[in-house]
């Protein structure tokens, strides 16, 4: 076989391999976007912008809290996409407007995302660290303040692996991991 034909066959094989790699990568992205969707985008984008939070972080929180099920209800009576407790939601709705929210309104995606994003923004403002704010979102501000005061976790979030509640520890890890995946695919 002459040299020119060998070069052409090599280039053709290389093009086939590169096409297959790009196809697999695109297929992977398509699959990941199904697993890590951006549902309720209108509300997430609106309130993430309003409260200066990365919308991809809000998607990661919603995925962990309810897996995008607006009718989710926990055993502790947390409701909706971002799993808000009624008393927390009432406090937040009073902070945002004069109207008090009802437990049933927490199943409304717009209301839930607005209040949940506001709540997380408040936590982030207080704790100044995403991981610590996530721990407070799950376990409550009081517990997180206690852990910080007792030196169990540091305010800068550098030792979040020391979170004493296994559920909260895993929750923070899951959301930070999902947030990283959201950043990679979007």
Active site residues: 65
Alpha carbons 131 and 96: distance in angstroms, whole number: 25
Alpha carbons 52 and 126: distance in angstroms, whole number: 14
The answer to whether 51 and 118 are in contact (CB under 8 A) is yes
Alpha carbons 100 and 106: distance in angstroms, whole number: 11
Positive or negative: CA dihedral 168, 29, 58, 126: positive
The answer to whether 148 and 155 are in contact (CB under 8 A) is yes
Contacts of 145 (CB under 8 A, 6+ apart): none
Three-state secondary-structure class, residue 164 = coil
């Amino acid at each position: 076989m002459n040299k020119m034909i060998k070069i052409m066959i090599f280039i053709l094989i290389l093009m086939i391999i590169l096409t297959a790699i790009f196809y697999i990568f695109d297929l992977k992205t398509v699959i990941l976007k199904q697993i890590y969707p951006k549902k309720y985008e209108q509300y997430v984008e609106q309130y993430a912008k309003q409260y200066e939070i990365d919308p991809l972080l809000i998607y990661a929180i919603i995925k962990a809290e309810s897996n995008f099920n607006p009718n989710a209800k926990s055993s502790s009576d947390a409701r909706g996409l971002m799993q808000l407790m009624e008393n927390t939601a009432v406090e937040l709705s009073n902070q945002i407007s004069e109207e008090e929210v009802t437990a049933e309104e927490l199943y409304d995606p717009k209301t839930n995302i607005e209040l949940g994003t506001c709540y997380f923004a408040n936590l982030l403002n207080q704790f100044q660290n995403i991981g610590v704010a996530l721990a407070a979102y799950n376990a409550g501000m009081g517990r997180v303040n206690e852990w910080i005061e007792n030196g169990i976790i540091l305010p800068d979030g550098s030792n979040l692996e020391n979170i004493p509640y296994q559920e909260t520890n895993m929750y923070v890890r899951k959301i930070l991991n999902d947030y990283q995946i959201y950043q990679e695919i979007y």
